[in-house]
A = this chain, B = another copy of it.
Amino acid sequence: MDETKRQAIRDLLIEYGLLLDDDKLEAWVELFTADCDYRIVTRENVEQNLPNVLIWCKGKNMLADRITSYRHVNEYNLHWDCHTISPPRIAAEADGSWRVAASYSLFQTTLEGQSRLFSVGRYRARVVFNDNAPRIREMVVVADTGSILTLLATPI
């Protein structure tokens, strides 16, 4: 039972990366709970206890709005994403939720086929099960790479 849930969490994270890379951003939003919290912060800010965030969406609706907005207005930094995500550390919490941590490297490729390293860092997530399906209630993306601020268009 426990191992079944852990594998479901691993599969959730796999889905997370593949949906982003396939530009299925609307389906990616469905991996979150209605009351989710999604934010991207730099490691520099975390280490210095600074409150800055690069992106902060409270609730799935806000996340969905951001994607809609991206679909309609984005005209710069057209690219393809490719995430490489390590297998995650998974720990059960007393309240029935799960803490998940995994490192990622994210590469972006221009439409002309030039690839480059865009961001490295780690996911720190809280996952809950709704009707046996794991969903992300909290996702903090801690990006080591800080030089990407102005280029962030799609989620990490």
* Interface hits, A102-156 → B, CB 8 Å: 102-105, 107, 109, 111-117, 119-122, 144-147
A84 touches B84 (CB 8 A): yes
User: Could you tell me which residues of chain A, from 1 to 39, have a CB within 8 Å of some CB in chain B?
Assistant: 3, 7, 10-11, 13-15, 17-18, 21
A80 at interface by CB-CB < 8 Å: yes
Query: Which residues in B have their C-beta under 8 angstroms from that of A117?
Result: 107, 115-117
Contact among B13, B82, B88, B147 for A105, CB-based, below 8 A: B82
Q: What CA separation (Å) do A10 and B10 show in the bound complex?
A: 12
Query: Is B113 in contact with A84, judged by CB distance below 8 angstroms?
Result: no
**Of all chain B residues, which has the CB nearest A107?**
B120
9 chain-A/chain-B pairs, Cβ below 8 angstroms: A18-B89, A43-B113, A80-B144, A84-B86, A85-B86, A85-B87, A109-B145, A113-B145, A115-B117
A-B residue pairs, 8 tightest by C-beta: A113-B146, A109-B144, A82-B120, A115-B145, A107-B120, A84-B105, A80-B144, A113-B147
